[in-house]
Amino acid sequence: MDFYQNLIRPIFFSMDAEEAHDLVMSALEIGSHFPALVRLSAGKAVPSSPRTVAGITFPNPVGLAAGMDKNGLALPAWEALGFGFIEVGTITACAQPGNPKPRMFRFPQQQALINRLGFNNEGAEAVATRLEALHAEGRWPRIPVGLNIGKSKVTPAEKAHEDYLASFRRLHDLGDYFVINVSSPNTPGLRDLQSTEALGRIIRTLRDWEGASRRPLFVKVAPDLAEEDLVAIVQLAESEELAGLIATNTTLDHSAIPKDRDQTGGLSGLPVRARSLAALQTIRNQTKLPVIACGGISDAVSARERLDAGADLLQVYTSFIYQGPALLRRLAQR
């Protein structure tokens, strides 16, 4: 019997989606002080299958996507559950509450979520302080930690590069890799930063400050981009010598959701599978840069299709909410 799906998930799914998320994060934050117990509760260990991407060694290719642990609350717990890497965030330079509630919605029949959270997080300073304390206490995980940064809502688009730099500068020494998030649909105008002019300015601002001590830098793209726009981003990533791309964020195509139940926001889970795969294929046809696949990965078949299409690593979020820790073993044993 799958303990999570039969006993734990029904309790969480009886609650409001965001309230359940907050409860899970509180439990995992406590569990981070007792990783052995978390490991025991997760059941069988996830098989080891190390791979090196962008100069970083990952113990297995299945990572936690950004959005689940926005503030870096539970890093040791995620490692104990069996993830091969963790992506914290999205983190903004300014602390912000996000959009009004309710703002997270489940669609069990479609194995999907819609969220319009709006980069709710404690801000770069608070997250950096927490991560520094984790280092000082000797509790830093042994798996890679990525830090996903986005634009503060209060910052005008013409100053976006300065906003990203503020987060990058404060967090620089704490992440194994960094992700520029310009693809969330829930911050007004953010996706406009996917234009090569705006994105190029952000990248060059970070690199100019960084100098020679460069961290691997990825860009996370939307699944809704026109092919020519996605190709332009790939070309920019190559010219700026980025570490790679993440394909993809949530989609604004809600055709899989019944109209009478639809909500504003980004759709994740099974309905984004085809779009995310298509974006991955477009990227791989253009470049040999590493690609982290994200979106609609829910079983061994969808994991294998991404790897066969050229993905170097995988990330999950919505499918983990629906399936729990057993999902990681299914994907790693693909």
Nearest partner of 290 among 85, 41, 56, 28, judged by Cα: 56
The boundaries of the domain holding residue 213 are: 3-332
The CATH number of the domain holding residue 39 is 3.20.20.70
Give CA–CA dist 323/8, Å, rounded: 10
- The first and second tokens of residue 142, run together, are 């042994």
Look at the alpha carbons of 207, 210, 215, 218 in this order and tell me if their dihedral is positive or negative: negative
* Per-residue pLDDT at 333 exceeds 80: no
pLDDT tier for residue 334 given thresholds of 50, 70 and 90 = low
Instruction: Please write the tens of the pLDDT for every residue from 168-220.
Output: 999 999 999 999 998 777 777 777 777 888 899 999 999 999 988 899 999 99
Percent of the chain at pLDDT exceeding 90? 87
First to last CA, the chain: 20
Q: How far is CA 135 from CA 123, 131, 175, in A?
A: 19, 6, 12
Average pLDDT over the chain, rounded to an integer? 94
Number of domains composing the chain? 1
Any idea which residues carry the catalytic annotation?
Answer: 184
pLDDT tier for residue 2 given thresholds of 50, 70 and 90 = confident
* Per-residue pLDDT at 1 exceeds 70: no
Angle between helical axes of 196-210 and 227-239 (0-180°, round to 10): 20
- Helix (H, G, I), strand (E, B), or coil: what is residue 146? strand
